[in-house]
Homo-oligomer: A and B are copies of this chain.
Amino acid sequence: MTPWRLIADVGGTNVRFARVFDGLVVAERRAYQGARFESFIHAMRAYAAETGGLAGCASVAIGAAGPVAAGEIHLTNIAWTIREAEVEAEAGAPCTLLNDVEAAAYGALTLTEPDYALLSGPAPDLSRAMRLLIANIGTGFGAAALFKVANVWVSCPSEAGHMSLRLPDDAPAGLRSAFPSVEHALSGRGLVDLHAALSGRDDGLSARDICANAAYDPAAAATIRLFAEITGSVLGDLTLAYTAWDGVFLVGSVAKGCAATDPRAMRAAFENKGPMSDRLKAVPVALMLKEDPAFFGLAIAPMRTR
């Protein structure tokens, strides 16, 4: 039997499984509502039963929305704890648990040109890259870095969403205390809160509505512009933290819909880092267009060594 890798992308609502052959072919995709199952292992059993069992499973890679600690992830929005040891016992194969943004980061390595849109800067050259930054703007803010070490890519997870945020110097002074951390601004909720703070209206608009209104509503346009500036500045800071000179890739619904709508404002803030401005001018910033970057990342993520 051809050996294959079992992969799982676990969010708060859905858990998605697939089988990977040759590190490239992602087959037998299925999605389940997490709430239907008592635990991750139960969901994994259901997937295995529906798709022909676990024979030939050579490894398991799981990306989940939470920090990995001591081989475990406690999920935030569902009462599951995923443990590498339990998955290994069930699958009879080694298991690697990753944070979901780390998984998406590995996905960047599988991109070819139509899979991303260059937002600003020179074209990325993934064949020569040594350090990359991946940032997710969606329900929250997440980031991960990838480093090439001895010809193998390794990831560095982060909790960058909780770093302190410096708003642009020309932002209204009253905003500062309401946006202490990166995620307070760079998330779906953050965009809504920025709009309420800038417009003085709490009118129930969603992040999607605000993006759509920006074409004719000055308050929405100002919100999108500030959001793009904050995104650029935070991405610039993280590029400096990791010296991720080879490229920045954005993923996530809010990044796609909102942050990327004003790439010039984003770029100006990205490069506005004093003596590092010239260095940052050479760094590509791109938007991942490929669906399910975490799935493709899990397909190729190396096994963790302990």
Rounded to whole Å, the gap between the CB of A182 and the closest CB of chain B is 9
Q: How many Å from the CB of A126 to the closest CB on chain B? A: 17
Q: Does A181 contact B (CB under 8 A)?
A: yes
Of A143, A169, A181, chain B has the most CB atoms within 10 Å of the CB of A181
- Chain B residues near A240: list those with CB within 8 A: 158-160, 162-163
B276 touches A151 (CB 8 A): no
A93 to chain B, nearest CB (A): 19
How far is it, in angstroms, between the C-alpha of A164 and the C-alpha of B238 when the chains are bound? 10
- When all copies of this chain in the complex are counted, the total is 2
Asked if A1 lies at the interface with its beta carbon under 8 angstroms from chain B, I say no
Instruction: Return the chain B residue nearest A238 by Cβ.
Output: B241
Q: Determine which of B150, B159, B180, B243 lies in contact with A305 in the assembled complex, contact meaning CB atoms within 8 Å.
A: B150
Residues B274 and A180 in contact, CB atoms below 8 Å apart: yes
Q: How far is the CA of A177 from the CA of B276 in the complex (A)?
A: 18
Cα(A306)–Cα(B195), bound, Å: 48
Whether the pair B273, A164 counts as a contact (CB closer than 8 A) is: yes
- List of B residues within 8 angstroms of A237 by Cβ: 163-164
List residues of chain B with CB within 8 A of the CB of A159: 240-241, 243, 276, 279
Q: Is the interface of A mostly helix, strand, loop or mixed?
A: mixed
Give the number of chain A interface residues (Cβ < 8 Å): 39
A275 interfacial by beta-carbon distance below 8 Å: yes
Specify which chain B residues have a CB less than 8 angstroms from the CB of A276 in the assembled complex.
159, 162
In whole Å, how far is A197's beta carbon from the nearest beta carbon of chain B?
16
Which residue of the partner chain B has the closest CB to A68?
A: B243
Q: Considering the chains assembled together, what is the distance between the CA atoms of A236 and B150 in angstroms? A: 30
Over the window 130-167 of chain A, the binary record of Cβ atoms lying under 8 Å from chain B Cβ atoms (1 yes, 0 no) is: 00000000000001010101111010111110111110
B163 touches A243 (CB 8 A): no
The digit string for A75-91, where 1 denotes a CB below 8 A from any CB of B, is 00000000000000000
User: How far is B146's CA from A301's CA once the two chains are assembled, in angstroms?
Assistant: 20
- With a CB–CB cut-off of 8 A, which chain B residues contact A241? 143, 158-160, 163, 238, 241-242
What distance in Å separates the Cβ of A49 from its nearest Cβ neighbour in chain B?
35
> Known contacts A149-B305, A305-B149; is A243 also within 8 Å of B158 by CB?
yes
In the complex, what residues of B have CB within 8 A of residue A177's CB? 169
Q: What is the CB-to-nearest-CB distance from A117 to chain B, in angstroms, rounded to a whole number?
A: 26
What distance in Å separates the Cβ of A101 from its nearest Cβ neighbour in chain B?
Answer: 11
C-alpha gap A238/B149 in the complex (Å): 21
> What mask results when residues 236 to 265 of chain A are scored 1 for a CB within 8 Å of chain B, else 0?
111011110000000000000000000000
Q: What are 18 A-B contacts with C-beta separation under 8 Å? A: A145-B156, A150-B305, A156-B156, A158-B241, A158-B242, A158-B243, A159-B241, A159-B276, A160-B241, A162-B240, A162-B276, A163-B241, A164-B166, A164-B236, A166-B166, A169-B180, A181-B274, A238-B241
Known: A147-B156, A162-B274, A181-B273. 5 other contacts (CB 8 A): A151-B305, A160-B241, A163-B241, A164-B236, A241-B241
